[in-house]
Structure 1
């Protein structure tokens, strides 16, 4: 690894340290070092888009704060993005603006939610976005810095700093950065973006609100029903049940996706199976104090709580068999990761229940 003295231009290490301290003291970082932003660097980012610098990409009304193109560029540069990444950052903010929860303050929640982005299309390969192994981990600049650009925007534009406007009780690692690419090349199904009417050749960012990632070890079966029930059990664990219904993004490794496809299952077949089997008994819910709903919030609580009301299942022919998904579209499916082991994941996400007609929040990346 080269030392700083090997650089073509001489760099004053003390000035670098001073700049980092300046950004830290002003609370412009996520706790990690950032790239100091000069006007010339900012112009390199703005030159990659036709958008006006003062165009608003996303607004949080109750904070009276706007994410403009210029502010998005500043935070992308701070995050360590290359200028050519910036159109993806712009599309990410536009996708976030279509997701109903962030504008309502979900990122300030004690639940510890965060943005989670999926990139489809040619931009993945063009920018080096990782979709094939260690997708939630380190080692890929585009994944790390594009996701981090969103987090720094949350901090610097919207003031979502821990112990202040960000009230997360514990949070989760995606509060630093969370962007993955879909492994379209090894997927047996069309890409996520095509389900919203985009062409396969379009580059598209889809935004979710994430609570956690739960890994599923499933190397034991070649029977699609058994594998699907493993996912069902993980989605329906009682600790995940906050509201009357839950939601999930299934991130399948290629070999799990291929197992379903080889059995003739489509994405919709998998969704329908999960929806049909995502149920718990009333006794199981009562055992953990989640067998009723709050009048005020419709969050799950005990039937003996003074604020309780019956859940939707109580008025059906099978009141003791409680459905935990409101609709098959409460389950979304992406193929990502390596094909070296049967390890997929359930990403716990917030969606509207019942979901709107188009459950996706996405935006096309502006062509370079």
Structure 2
């Protein structure tokens, strides 16, 4: 018989729980970390948190011939350690992901090592305790950690995206465990991201990106908006981030940087345009790293000396020796998140198709019917 422990008056068989965790691990139902054992009563509590039919299909990967339903999303949310009240967010996240073209083309299986990245807006953040104000990419907040993890566990358990098997990431990213943040709407000088996209401030919305990495920008040295815009642009235009002919990025500004821009009279669109105009490289610098042309087959960047090389889009313009690396101003997105205690913002490297979409993200309203 397992060892019984007393927790707030409740007798718990700790050995039985540990055995269940080992059982799940041996069957590959985890992301490498222990998961929460799920019973029918636990699943029922999750399904009671939504009015969606358990058999509703949320997302399909056609080439794998596999789909995730509300029931399967709930099981994996429970495994991840979510509370039942998080399930509407998880459902909306899957529906936002379903609007992304990348997973349908196998990008989650790719050697590139991409991961889903979720941004949550609206009142739901406060209702479930989702962090938006400090250590947003770090530990300490159950909603952030488990909602993002619920997506990863769904990828593994429903779609079979196990490392070394269908998931062929060369190095991967920590975001493959969990990547879910809230926007710090309360300390932003601008309208929140979901309002920018036509939702009401009272709506709760999930935005889904496909990302590769998060790069922090230490910028405590200036009060000039132009200098700060240049700092972000320089980080985006580094040659190591240039895969396809064009790229995209999400600027996650801390309140201090957002206020710096706003105090100078800059809107989000002004920030976006200023960074967009600065994300250019001389072709000679691209040639130095072997990325001054693109592939006939994939449009990925490579050397003009490569047998598969063809000129990039800029080569036929009036300024062939100065290469813009973004396709649209909207290839730069701007939001506010993090604590108001230092000038440390971040650039989230967003993986986009080639040719890229005008907006490199998809959105879904929490609680909305499909």
Q: Same fold (TM over 0.5)?
A: yes
* Contact 2:244–2:354 (CA under 8 A) maintained in structure 1: no
Does structure 2 conserve the Cα–Cα contact (< 8 Å) formed by 1:326 and 1:353? no
Instruction: Tell me the distance in 2 between the aligned counterparts of 1:328 and 1:106.
Output: 24
Quick check: 1:156 aligned with 2:176?
no
1:357–1:112 CA distance, 2 compared to 1 (3 A):
closer
Matched with 1:133 is 134
Aligned to 2:251: 250
Q: How does 1:16-55 map to 2 (within 5 A)?
A: 16-55=17-56
| Superposition pairs of residues 1-368 of structure 1, within 5 angstroms | 4-356=5-357, 359-366=360-367
User: Could you say what secondary structure the match of 2:10 adopts?
Assistant: coil
Verify the 8 A CA contact 1:292 1:308 in the aligned structure 2.
yes
Structure 1 residue 355: Cα displacement: 4.5
TM-superposed CA distance for 1:353, in Å, is 4.9
Change over 3 Å in CA distance of 1:69–1:18 after alignment to 2:
same
Give the structure-2-normalised TM-score: 0.97
How big is each residue's C-alpha offset from its partner over 1:146-172, in whole Å with a ceiling of 9 and x where there is no partner?
010000000000000100000011111
TM-score using structure 1 length: 0.97
- Compute the displacement of 1:195 (Å): 2.1
Q: Distance in 1 between matches of 2:257 and 2:334?
A: 12
* 1:232-275 superposed Cα distances (whole Å, 9 cap, x missing partner): 00000000000001110000000100100111111111111111
Equivalent residue of 1:168, what SS?
Answer: coil
Q: Does the CA-based 8 Å contact 1:252-1:344 persist in structure 2?
A: yes
On the 8 A contact 2:295/2:309 being kept in 1, the answer is yes
TM-superposed deviation, 1:97:
0.5
Residue 351 of structure 1 and its aligned partner are, at CA, apart by 2.7
Alpha-carbon separation, structure 1, partners of 2:313 and 2:214: 28
**Residue pair 2:54, 2:70 contacting (<8 A) in 1 also:** yes
What CA distance in whole angstroms lies between the structure 2 residues aligned with 1:337 and 1:360? 21
Please give the secondary structure, in 1, of the residue aligned with 2:125.
Answer: helix
Aligned-partner Cα distance in 1 for 2:230–2:201: 30
1:343-363 deviation per Cα after TM superposition (whole angstroms, max 9, x unaligned): 000000123455445544010
Paired with 2:21 and 2:174, the residues of 1 have a C-alpha distance of: 23
TM-superposed deviation, 1:6: 3.2
In the TM superposition, residue 8 of structure 1 has moved relative to its aligned partner by 2.0
CA distance in 2, matches of 1:349, 1:138: 22
- Cα distance in 2 for partners of 1:340, 1:352 equals 36
Number of paired residues? 365
| 188-197 or 318-327, which deviates more | 188-197
SS where residue 211 of structure 1 aligns? Answer: strand
> Contact 1:30–1:176 at 8 Å: present in 2 too?
yes
Equivalent-residue separation in structure 1 for 2:213 and 2:363 (angstroms): 20
Aligned-partner Cα distance in 1 for 2:331–2:358: 11
Q: State the distance in 2 between where 1:233 and 1:308 align.
A: 26
How many Å separate the matches in 1 of 2:241 and 2:348? 11
Give the distance between the partners of 2:316 and 2:279, measured in 1 at CA. 18
* Unaligned ranges ≥5, structure 2: none
Structure 1, unaligned stretches of length 5 or more?
none
